[in-house]
Structure 1
């Protein structure tokens, strides 16, 4: 599993995106709370309540919304 960190303008970590071996990604905020997941097989992003929020990878947007 690999992890990429999302940073703000001052380079503080505001979240992370974990990618597993199947390509599925899980977005987490700075406190490691799950904000959503992206499934490349279906090309859909769902939020923390598993409701689809859109097509394509929108995890960065979900992390930014969790910051505010």
Structure 2
């Protein structure tokens, strides 16, 4: 599982993405490590932790950069 850390301009961690190649999902977590959503590569959908559809396509950055 590869991890990509997202930082702001000052170098503070805002969150990260974890790509699980087996399931075809990219999970997003905030700076506290809370799961904030996932992108399903096979279905091309982004969903929240409850499984509700947020958008078609990958909009995980909008979850991490949310104020």
TM-score, normalised by the number of residues in structure 2: 0.90
2 CA distance for matches of 1:29 and 1:52?
Answer: 19
Higher helix share: 1
Find the residue that maps to 1:62 and give its secondary structure: helix
2 CA distance for matches of 1:29 and 1:6?
Answer: 9
Q: 1:16-65, CA deviations, whole angstroms, 9 ceiling, x for partnerless residues?
A: 00001233100000000000000000000001221111011111111111
* RMSD of aligned Cα (Å): 1.0
Runs of 4+ aligned structure 1 residues displaced above 4 Å come to none
Structure 2 equivalent of residue 19 of structure 1: 19
1:64 aligns with 2:32: no
Find the residue that maps to 2:33 and give its secondary structure: coil
Note if contact 1:47-1:62 (Cα within 8 Å) is conserved in structure 2: no
Structure 2 equivalent of residue 28 of structure 1: 29
Runs of 5+ in structure 2 lacking a partner? none
Note if contact 1:38-1:59 (Cα within 8 Å) is conserved in structure 2: yes
